[in-house]
Chains A and B, each alone.
Chain A
Amino acid sequence: MARIKIPRKSTAIDMTAMCDVAFLLLTFFILTAKLKQEDPLRVDVPGASIKVNVPDVDMATVTIGHSKVFFSVEGTDLRKALLEEMGKKYSISFTPAEQQKFSLIPTFGVPVNVLKQYINLTQDERKKYNQPGIPVDTTTNSELFNWIYQARIVTKNLHNKELRFAIKGDSREQYPEIQKIIDVLQKQAVNKFSLITSLNQSK
């Protein structure tokens, strides 16, 4: 009986096209994506139909979630100068090394009196540290008021631009908490600010 011989074909596939696609995708991801930032406060941002992106420079964000308030300013130079000014304001002296460290912390939520201690923690310790949030009240001398005020001054001095503000609130947060932050901003005549939302196309 004659066996039917199946001709053996080479298993090598031409990878050129696949390689092209892979690198195309890679390029796309590198160009469009922004590195994830480790957020100390996880916030579920409400959805809306807004399609305007949040600007990347000269931007300060007040984050509110679980009744805690966190503050962040974009730009390491601004953060460094801001810490110096806040140190003067509350008569705490920060060393240049501490300023350097602070400039690398994107978001923080600790009262000024424990700020020094917080800055001197290592990165891992900082992650575990339970930040109590920045104290806010309705007076013009609360810590958040001063952070915002000094941040505006610092931005004006260094970049000659008005600092823009955004409120990033958790969707389950009760409205009075948000109103408190809005009041703080309005007290210093910041009447234009953004509310951070995520794109919600289902609605």
Chain B
Amino acid sequence: MAELDTSGGGGKKGGKVRSKKASTRIDLTAMVDLAFLLITFFIMATTLAKPKAMDTFWPDKTKKDVQLPVPETRTMTVLLGANDKLEWFVGAPGSATHVDNFGKNGIRKTLIEENKKIEATHAGPDNFMIVLVKASDKSTYKNFVSMLDEINIAGIKSYGVVALTPAELGLLKRDGLY
């Protein structure tokens, strides 16, 4: 507590004149008012949720000779279509395609399962899955960011963002995602 002990020590009996001690208790109401006013001001005028940065690395387009051959059996191609839907296939173009959703039970599950399958069927050390993200013109920025986020969460070691080919656009159109 803020007040000090003002009772005074026992002292001697008798008629010594003591100065009267005033209480040190202060009325803090006004101070509390002020503090809460300032708190309110700071809550209203500031942002607490700082924006987060997702770092991305892109291939150097100015250099033409850094293309690595990618084994088709280890690649998974993800096509981002309209209406927050996507389509994926593993292997060469023309493999069976699957329509999927974004989110926990959609593409994230798929990524983790397919990655395990590929790691089991290929010899190490380079047996990780390579994901190619191909965003169509009908997909939104949100879809693209969620896709990269799912790749991060699933712990995919290698991925790239590639332009959509006409054949793949045809696939999206066939499944009504464009």
A interface with B by C-beta (< 8 Å): 12, 14-16, 18-19, 22-23, 25-26, 29-30, 32-36, 45-46, 48-55, 64, 166, 168-179, 182, 186-187, 189, 191-199, 203
CA–CA, A14 and B152, complex, Å:
53
Chain B binding surface SS class: mixed
Asked if B28 contacts A34 (CB within 8 A), the reply is no
Asked if B153 contacts A173 (CB within 8 A), the reply is no
Smallest beta-carbon distance A163→chain B, Å: 14
Q: A15-B28, A15-B29, A48-B54 are in contact. Are A26 and B39 (CB under 8 A)?
A: yes
B interface with A by C-beta (< 8 Å): 1-2, 27-29, 31-32, 35-36, 38-39, 42-43, 45-62, 80, 103-104, 135-146, 148-149, 152-153
Asked if A175 contacts B136 (CB within 8 A), the reply is yes
CA–CA, A179 and B28, complex, Å:
59
CA–CA, A29 and B138, complex, Å:
42
Chain A binding surface SS class: mixed
CA–CA, A146 and B136, complex, Å:
28
Specify which chain B residues have a CB less than 8 angstroms from the CB of A26 in the assembled complex: 35, 38-39, 42
Asked if A193 contacts B56 (CB within 8 A), the reply is yes
Smallest beta-carbon distance B29→chain A, Å: 6
Closest A-chain residue to B149, C-beta based?
A48
Asked if A194 contacts B56 (CB within 8 A), the reply is yes
Our pick among B48, B60, B62, B143 for the contact of A33 (Cβ within 8 Å) is B48
